[in-house]
Structure 1
Amino acid sequence: MRTALTDLVGCRHPIVQTGMGYVAGARLTAATSRAGGLGIIASATMSLDEMTEAIRSVRERTDAPFGVNLRSDADDAAERVEVLIKHEVKVASFALAPRQELIARLKDAGVVTIPSVGARRHAEKVAAWGVDAVIVQGGEGGGHTGPVPTSILLPQVVDAVDIPVIAAGGFYDGRGLVSALAYGAAGIAMGTRFLLTTDSPVPSAVKETYLAAAETLVTTRVDGVPHRVLRTPFVDSLERSRLLRAVMNSARFKRLSGLSWASLIREGRRMKHGRDLTWAQVLQAANTPILLRAAMVDGRADLGVMASGQVVGALADLPSCDELITRIMTEAETVLERLAQHQGS
């Protein structure tokens, strides 16, 4: 299936695996790209050296195109950009707000730039900077998300910009791919669906928690901004927390992480910058990487935060990335053929 996305980045199928912290490492990224999609390394939870090694590892596993997701407010963001350029990474994606100078440097070097946006005005802003495409995530998506559903946001953005638009939030099968194409998208991006594959490094016990889940909620108690996660007793306790509980949590996660109090406060202040956060939220924001790691790496579903899209309630299996992408494309072709038959009758 050829679309503006496949033409732009050189993947065989218009399916993107999003950069999920502690989940989208070299293993999952390479498996996705080998299967014909576009895998994206999540570098925000990696050191510069770890990101560089992940890029090398993907290169060893596949010659298919892949990308790296960057955090533009990282202290070493400019250095990370230079690593992508040096290693000829095909795509740079950005979560949250990218920086115009980073976009310009990547574009000058021939790297395809694809930021994620959650509002039409943000898409218009980055399109004016000259980005190559945008990922548009509706409110159904996991992790940081907005209030507008994909079915409303996607056509708004498609109509507003003249670059390829990739739809995210609520996609997991071939029917969803066809619907996104009908709205004018060039492909779909999925997080939760790729997390629940055999190629995902997430511990089995945590995957089982996802498969058994029926409900997500959007909370600001994780890091001060809307965050869609699985509803668990731990998340419910965060929802009820006050400053004292946040301080106690910070002390507990400080011990788990080995970080100094200075590091936690520095991270908290950075998370607070430009946001109207309470100090309880600031302290919790500083813990966010540890909360994610507790579940995604250590397997502590009782202690960690598990970002999840609403599609989790529709997922019941753990295919490989190859099986998943093949299934989605087969379903999409079947749907398109059926629609063509109806039109001809």
Structure 2
Amino acid sequence: METAFTRLVGVRHPIVQTGMGWVAGPRLVSGAAGAGALGILASATMSLEELRSAVHEVRSRIPEGTPFGVNLRADAADAAERARLIIDEGVRVASFALAPSQRLIGMLKDAGVVVIPSVGARRHAEKVAAWGADAVIVQGGEGGGHTGEVATSVLLPQVVDAVDLPVVAAGGFHDGRGLVAALAYGAAGIAMGTRFLLTSDSTVPDAVKAEYLRAGVGDITVTTAVDGLPHRMLRSELVASLERAGRTRALLRAVRHAAGFRALSGLSWPRMVRDGLAMRHGRELSWSQVLLAANTPMLLRASMVEGRTDLGVMASGQVAGVIGDLPSCAELVSRVMAEAHTVLDRLPDRLPDRLS
């Protein structure tokens, strides 16, 4: 299925596996890329050397020339260093969870890297398009992690109409019917996070995957208790306790987690402060929210790496409530594409006579 996105990136299928922190490591990314989708490494929770090693590992697992990407934090103090790393390593795609600067986009594009920011509003898409982005991923409110309030079905057509770029739809997608729906809205592909998290190639512990599989749509909530920003995740006793906690307890917890993340990431305190300043400026956060944001990496790591759902949070799109199995990436991509083609083939027969 060729689209403007597959032509731009060089993948066989218009499907993206998103760069989820602690989840989108070499095994998952190589599984998605090997299946013909665009796999994206999550670099925010890696040091520079860990990122370089992860890029090498992905490349060792997939056929030569298979495209994949790296997700970068646009507001990180070392964003330019990470961009230089993926240029030097010949990575095909750079994606961003926040809008990168015009200078960073230019640096990557001059080196032949395809730049694909993620956006949650029409105005953000217009801004990065004007700065030279090659495509955008637009996430509606159904998506997991930090999310907005506007549903994909409302946001996606706004962005498609606003920019003359390939648009990839995210938030609420898990099957071939969703891919066809996104194409009907004018998108050039879909991006999936939770659906790829729930595959046999994902390194998330089995006990955590079981929590996702048990969840219904009503078990997935949006809370600001983790870091002060709207965050979609599975409902759990820990989430409830965070929501009950007072600000003082929450800030003390955040300080402990900031120290823990510093030890894991190798970042210095000055570097973390600079990242906090960038985050505060880019999102207009209070200092207490910046400090609370230190919760996120460590609370996610507790679940996604250590399997401690009692100590960690589980970011999740609403689609977790309708997912019931753990296919491999190859099986998942094949299934999505087969279903999409079946839906497209049968669509004229399902239309009223006056429309077919």
Deviations 1:64-122 (A, max 9, x none): 11000000111211111111111111100000221111100011111101000000010
Q: Distance in 2 between matches of 1:57 and 1:105?
A: 25
Task: Tell which deviates more after alignment, 165-174 or 96-105.
Answer: 96-105
Q: Distance in 2 between matches of 1:155 and 1:275?
A: 25
Residue 195 of structure 2 corresponds to residue 193 of structure 1: yes
Q: Distance in 2 between matches of 1:158 and 1:262?
A: 41
* Residue of structure 2 in register with 1:126 after alignment: 128
Q: Tell me: CA distance 1:264–1:88, structure 2 relative to 1, closer, same or farther (3 Å).
A: closer
* Residue of structure 1 in register with 2:293 after alignment: 285
Q: Tell me: CA distance 1:81–1:240, structure 2 relative to 1, closer, same or farther (3 Å).
A: same
Give the superposition deviation at 1:179: 0.2
Q: Distance in 1 between matches of 2:262 and 2:282?
A: 27
Q: Distance in 2 between matches of 1:131 and 1:103?
A: 7
> In the alignment, residue 100 of structure 1 is paired with which amino acid?
Q
Of 204, 219, 234, the residue aligned with 1:202 is: 204
Q: Distance in 2 between matches of 1:85 and 1:29?
A: 18
Any stretches of 5+ residues in structure 1 without a counterpart? Answer: none
Contact conserved, 1:254 with 1:261, CA < 8 A, in 2? no
> In the alignment, residue 340 of structure 1 is paired with which amino acid?
P
Contact conserved, 2:166 with 2:187, CA < 8 A, in 1? yes
Deviations 1:145-200 (A, max 9, x none): 11100000000110111110000000000000000000000000000000000000
* Residue of structure 1 in register with 2:77 after alignment: 75
> In the alignment, residue 226 of structure 2 is paired with which amino acid?
V
Deviations 1:120-139 (A, max 9, x none): 01001101111110000000
Give the superposition deviation at 1:254: 5.8
* Residue of structure 1 in register with 2:19 after alignment: 19
* Residue of structure 1 in register with 2:316 after alignment: 308
Q: Tell me: CA distance 1:258–1:183, structure 2 relative to 1, closer, same or farther (3 Å).
A: closer
Give the superposition deviation at 1:241: 2.0
Of 322, 336, 342, the residue aligned with 1:334 is: 342
Contact conserved, 2:215 with 2:321, CA < 8 A, in 1? yes
* Residue of structure 2 in register with 1:40 after alignment: 40
Residue 245 of structure 2 corresponds to residue 241 of structure 1: yes
Q: Percentage identity across aligned positions?
A: 66
Give the superposition deviation at 1:283: 3.0
SS of the residue 1:302 aligns to: coil
> In the alignment, residue 221 of structure 2 is paired with which amino acid?
L
Of 99, 105, 108, the residue aligned with 1:106 is: 108
Q: Distance in 1 between matches of 2:285 and 2:105?
A: 28
Any stretches of 5+ residues in structure 2 without a counterpart? Answer: none
> In the alignment, residue 146 of structure 2 is paired with which amino acid?
H
Q: Tell me: CA distance 1:15–1:96, structure 2 relative to 1, closer, same or farther (3 Å).
A: same
Deviations 1:188-228 (A, max 9, x none): 00000000000001011111111111221111222222111
* Residue of structure 2 in register with 1:8 after alignment: 8
When the two structures are superposed, what TM-score results if normalisation uses the length of structure 1? 0.94
Residue 229 of structure 2 corresponds to residue 225 of structure 1: yes
Q: Distance in 1 between matches of 2:169 and 2:262?
A: 38
Q: Distance in 2 between matches of 1:223 and 1:270?
A: 15
Q: Distance in 1 between matches of 2:37 and 2:254?
A: 39
Q: Tell me: CA distance 1:15–1:146, structure 2 relative to 1, closer, same or farther (3 Å).
A: same
* Residue of structure 2 in register with 1:212 after alignment: 214
Aligned-pair Cα RMSD in Å: 2.0
> In the alignment, residue 220 of structure 1 is paired with which amino acid?
T
Give the superposition deviation at 1:341: 3.6
Q: How does 1:53-92 map to 2 (within 5 A)?
A: 53-62=53-62, 63=64, 64-92=66-94
Give the superposition deviation at 1:276: 5.0
Task: Tell which deviates more after alignment, 222-231 or 140-149.
Answer: 222-231
